[in-house]
Structure 1
Amino acid sequence: MTATHQVFNQAPPRTGINEYTGHTALVEAVETFGGGWAGNDLTEAGALVGGADFQRDAELANTFTPKLVTHDRWGHRIDDVEFHPAYHRIIGDAIAHGAHTSCWSDPRPGAHVARAAMFMQFGQIEPGHACPVSMTHAVVPSLRVDPVLAEQWLPRTFSRDYRHDLGTGDKTSAIFGMAMTEKQGGSDVRANTTRAAEQSDGTYLITGHKWFCSAPQSDAFLVLAQTEPGVTCFVVPRVLPDGTRNVFNVQRLKDKLGNKSNASSEVEFDRTVGWRLGDEGAGVRTIIEMVNQTRLDCILGSAAGMRQSVAEAAWHVRHRSAFGATLIDQPAMTAVIADLQVEAEAAVWTGIALAAAYDDDSADAAAFRRLATAVGKYWVCKRGPGHAYEALECLGGNGYTETGFPLARRYREQPVMAVWEGSGNVIALDVLRAMMRDPQSVEAVDAEFEKALGVYRDYDLHVERTRKLIAAAAADPQNAPALARRLTESMAIALQGSVLIQRAPAPVTEAFVAGRIADPGHLYGVLDANLDLAAIAARA
């Protein structure tokens, strides 16, 4: 081999690593919040997703993207979606490890924490499949509104046997999707024009068009449609009880910025059969817990993406030298990695803390998660894209390439978490709505702030400012929307600070308070050099 083709000073592939045991913050958070009993299962999954085969499947699933097949060879409408086999292997592994519904099928203290950690591990390496996994998890509370539908569908959602074909009514497992929004309404689902008419047998025939339907290959969907009293929720299966296909006309698959392995679609219903879930006119109330659960998963997905980003960046700079020294040992790079790690840890600790709140059946915990989930979703998901970009830049040109390096894919992926289940203004206004309708939720979140006071003066002052914003919004509800984003951001930083101050290692907490509250910089890598940046970077 000639000298021009000798490869050196390149990082080896980041494979053969246990993504659980190597993720110090996640291990600590899981132990702290009561999920330590799942350590063996999480470690097993960590070895799987950290392997070269799984990572290659993630690349294949995003290279050979889903294709819509509307008709079979004889002209029958089938509306199937074809995936590369790698996608089915990935989601099959996630289902087999309980990343979807383990917290519901095996409830115990820390079950939501353990399931969150499992979900994060699979989503860290391949996020697209996490969409139907998340919706299958999130549908459970809504299905429980109707005992008959719950008996019919819950055992299938609890199954860990993944089967990707729709079958002919013989499947014992099920993946769920949802179809809520329409092109004229978007987040304003009360503007929906899809209509449902009741039949003599108690089913409904649904007619209309959905602008976004995730993921059309699923076995069943929660669908919103208008009845006489208003927006109503329905369970719509792809296959009817007699084994025939329900009318489910997939118009096209969305060509998205990211989330390429996941099929998102437009769907037309033409006298499509559905079963009412909940009361007529109560569709939003019926589906809202599914929305809350998927919002939590948006936080977890963004946090998992931050972990992938900083871990890949840290791996690169530990294996590459420039100007006579390894990159990680150069102060400017140490500062960047440490700052990225602080952001990732704040997201991971916050996500696991919120998951723990779903393990608690108390009224205080319910009030806390009603508000804190929306606050966390707004902030953590919005921090994702910028974090991914900075990590990508650590790899230089390699980070900007698609083949073999995952950070370009991650950079395109992170915005979907902020858009899905309510973009910025929707979430910020939901925060206000929760505060106005449920004052107990404000008290519960403020109680979390209170637990962390008295340790850092800068944090105490931030909580004081946050409380003034809360009071201002309460005193003038009509003009409160103008404060919505500022208020939500301030609450999110106070929430993250509280979680870290109470539980995270001192170097991480000190850096968070210094770099996110006391003297926040505009970009990553500007933390005070007197902080223990090397210790923080080591956790990446």
Structure 2
Amino acid sequence: MTNSVSSFTTHEVANQTPPIGHYNAWLSDTALRNAVAREGGAWAEPQLLEFGAVAGGELMDLGYTANENPPKLRAFDRYGHRIDEVEFHPAWHRVMELGMRHGVHAFAWRHQDTPGAHVARAALSYLHAQAEAGSGCPLTMTHAAAPTLRHAPQLARDWLPKIHALEYDPRVLPMQSKRGCTVGMGMTEKQGGSDVRANTTRALLQADGSYALVGHKWFFSAPMCDAWLVLAYVDQSLSCFLTPKLRPDGSRNAIHIQRLKDKLGDRSNASSEVEFHGAYAQIVGEVGRGVANILEMVALTRLDCMIGSAALMRQGCVQALHHAQHRKVFGKLLSEQPLMQNVLADMALESEAAIALTMRVARAVDAGPRQPGEAALARIATAIGKYWVCKRCPPLVNEAQECLGGAGYVEESNLPRLYRQAPLNSIWEGSGNIQCLDVLRALGKEPEAREALFAELLAARGLDASLDAEVHWLGEALTDRTTLEVRSRMLVERTALALQASILLRAGNMEVASVFCRSRLGGEHGLAFGTLPADAPFGYLIERSFPGV
């Protein structure tokens, strides 16, 4: 007797959340659109609308492929010649092409005479990072290099037109022959980390006025770029240098990639360790002004850390909300169940507060050259926001995973990728303690920074009693200089929450602002998401965040 089983179906597939599919990441994000308009970037809506479709469509698809195929180091060619090249999957190149075509790296500089340009550019970066965060590294550094390069007028005249071009050109060619260029950074060394004064790389003056670099970098970001801003010592003076991939004669520069970093996340992107063996470099600015000059770049990359973390939070919310709107448990949609509504609404509230603060800092950066008060606010609020928004990202993304259950732990969803990416921005460009110390430094040495900060907080005076009480407490806590450093994390955290509250209150949507103040300042919240007060407007917050596609 034989049994023949030609087909066997165990069950019908049902109650599975459908793919989100392509959607417009700009049009579906009310909090983002409100924040961009509020901070002066509404004039860029046509560009944001166009890129929103790309970010929620083709770019989202490419993100999966780019992360499934990480870069590979090709240190030598087949004949044994040293080439120090990084090989990427075509999906990465397409991601970079789309990002640069839409100005993620250059929009603010191409429109620098229009107020709000940095706000609009921040929104472009926010949309991009939701789909593929790793490429944000070279795009961010290329964007942020401009202020530092302007300390060397001739270098700026030569390089900035290529850096601000809207074409991605991965070919290894002299800058003059490229359609567009990207820029990376090399600051940290093994023995120093954030303490760049402990660096040992030396810069030796050459007869033609250039320098030869000898040393190493422990984190050399984006080794596939066309040039890098690097810190090195000239005698006892730490200075900044532009170090191109190719020497002026077209030969390869003596920058030897030792290995690519095997990172937790950011896997689509290449980070490396390098050695300089007499690498050609040109000084940027004055000898001894290296830290001050490169910190102008760091100020912008720290803003992009906020943008990147806020973007991951947003995408985590999108994934969780979409799942809850389609998945039934115990006979009801998840989105209809009271406890899940609390979780989803709380996440949506956190995400909105994150993008509200981020865009306010972007406006301060934008207006700083024209308004001293905004420049002072940018200096202190960037560190505050970088600390807090980046700290809030990992727990929110983990909560989003939990909303999907086991499916959120499986690589076929993009939540494991978001979760691996989530810790990066709290580490990159200065970890949490560095940000807190920067806040203390600004408060202690720049009276105008303290004045700008409290002007921003007090702009919402009288709109909510819990905020008024918090601002009063902050004033007293910051005046007490004893044990200030050891208390600084608590102080920066509470300042960030007060800033978010002030921004949301002045935005005028009291359903959002009131529950934020009650939960974050008024004590009506626990330590986990999903602990909003029982009468919070759950349905409104959920619908506002992502109405579904």
TM-score of Structure 1 vs Structure 2, range by shorter chain = over 0.9
**Residue pair 2:240, 2:291 contacting (<8 A) in 1 also:** yes
Q: Which residue of 2 aligns with 1:174?
A: 181
Cα shift at 1:3: 5.1
- 1:370 maps to which of 348, 364, 379: 379
Q: Does residue 190 of structure 2 align to residue 183 of structure 1?
A: yes
Correspondences of 1:57-456 after superposition (within 5 Å) = 57-107=62-112, 108-169=114-175, 170-360=177-367, 361-403=370-412, 405-456=413-464
Separation (CA, whole Å) in 2 of partners of 1:98 and 1:325: 44
Separation (CA, whole Å) in 1 of partners of 2:443 and 2:347: 32
Q: Does residue 500 of structure 2 align to residue 496 of structure 1?
A: yes
Separation (CA, whole Å) in 2 of partners of 1:135 and 1:89: 19
**Paired AA for residue 248 in structure 1:** I
Separation (CA, whole Å) in 2 of partners of 1:77 and 1:3: 56
**Paired AA for residue 392 in structure 1:** Q
TM-score, L = length of structure 1? 0.97
- 1:20 maps to which of 10, 23, 26: 26
**Per-residue deviation, residues 54-107 of structure 1 (Å, max 9, x unmatched):** 322101111110100000111111100011110110111010000111111222
Cα shift at 1:5: 4.4
Cα shift at 1:165: 2.1
Separation (CA, whole Å) in 2 of partners of 1:206 and 1:54: 38
Cα shift at 1:504: 5.2
Cα shift at 1:480: 2.3
**Per-residue deviation, residues 93-151 of structure 1 (Å, max 9, x unmatched):** 01000011111122211111110000110111110000110000111110111111110
Greater Cα shift, 295-304 or 480-489: 480-489
- Matched residue of 1:480: which SS? coil
**Paired AA for residue 23 in structure 1:** D
**Paired AA for residue 102 in structure 1:** F
Matched residue pairs, number?
534
Unpaired segments ≥5 residues, structure 2: 1-6
Separation (CA, whole Å) in 1 of partners of 2:94 and 2:448: 44
Cα shift at 1:513: 0.8
**Paired AA for residue 221 in structure 2:** S
**Per-residue deviation, residues 329-370 of structure 1 (Å, max 9, x unmatched):** 100111000000011000011111111112212110111100
Separation (CA, whole Å) in 2 of partners of 1:402 and 1:539: 28
- Matched residue of 1:205: which SS? strand
**Per-residue deviation, residues 169-208 of structure 1 (Å, max 9, x unmatched):** 4113110100000010000000000000111111000000
Q: Which residue of 2 aligns with 1:41?
A: 47
- Matched residue of 1:226: which SS? strand
- 1:514 maps to which of 518, 524, 528: 518
- Matched residue of 2:423: which SS? helix
**Residue pair 1:224, 1:233 contacting (<8 A) in 2 also:** yes
**Residue pair 1:229, 1:280 contacting (<8 A) in 2 also:** no
**Per-residue deviation, residues 386-427 of structure 1 (Å, max 9, x unmatched):** 010001100001100012x11111011010000000001111
**Residue pair 2:168, 2:179 contacting (<8 A) in 1 also:** no
**Paired AA for residue 101 in structure 2:** A
**Paired AA for residue 455 in structure 1:** L
**Per-residue deviation, residues 487-530 of structure 1 (Å, max 9, x unmatched):** 11121111111111111522211121111111231100010111
Separation (CA, whole Å) in 2 of partners of 1:507 and 1:147: 50
Separation (CA, whole Å) in 2 of partners of 1:205 and 1:536: 57
Separation (CA, whole Å) in 2 of partners of 1:28 and 1:196: 48
**Residue pair 1:124, 1:307 contacting (<8 A) in 2 also:** yes
Q: 1:338 to 1:504 in 2, by over 3 A?
A: farther
Separation (CA, whole Å) in 1 of partners of 2:151 and 2:279: 22
**Residue pair 2:27, 2:52 contacting (<8 A) in 1 also:** yes
- Matched residue of 1:267: which SS? strand
Cα shift at 1:229: 3.9
**Per-residue deviation, residues 259-298 of structure 1 (Å, max 9, x unmatched):** 1111110010010010000111110001011000000000
- Matched residue of 1:526: which SS? coil
Q: 1:20 to 1:504 in 2, by over 3 A?
A: farther
- Matched residue of 2:480: which SS? helix
Q: Which residue of 1 aligns with 2:3?
A: none
**Residue pair 1:259, 1:413 contacting (<8 A) in 2 also:** yes
Q: Which residue of 1 aligns with 2:532?
A: 527
**Residue pair 1:510, 1:531 contacting (<8 A) in 2 also:** no
Separation (CA, whole Å) in 1 of partners of 2:445 and 2:12: 66
Percent identical residues? 46
Separation (CA, whole Å) in 2 of partners of 1:529 and 1:26: 26
- Matched residue of 1:466: which SS? helix
TM-score, L = length of structure 2? 0.96
**Paired AA for residue 240 in structure 1:** R
**Paired AA for residue 482 in structure 1:** V
**Paired AA for residue 242 in structure 1:** D
Q: Which runs of 4+ in 1 moved over 3 A?
A: none
Cα shift at 1:4: 2.4
Cα shift at 1:6: 2.4
**Per-residue deviation, residues 455-480 of structure 1 (Å, max 9, x unmatched):** 1111111111111121113xx4xx42
**Paired AA for residue 218 in structure 1:** C
Q: Does residue 472 of structure 2 align to residue 468 of structure 1?
A: no
Q: Does residue 495 of structure 2 align to residue 487 of structure 1?
A: no
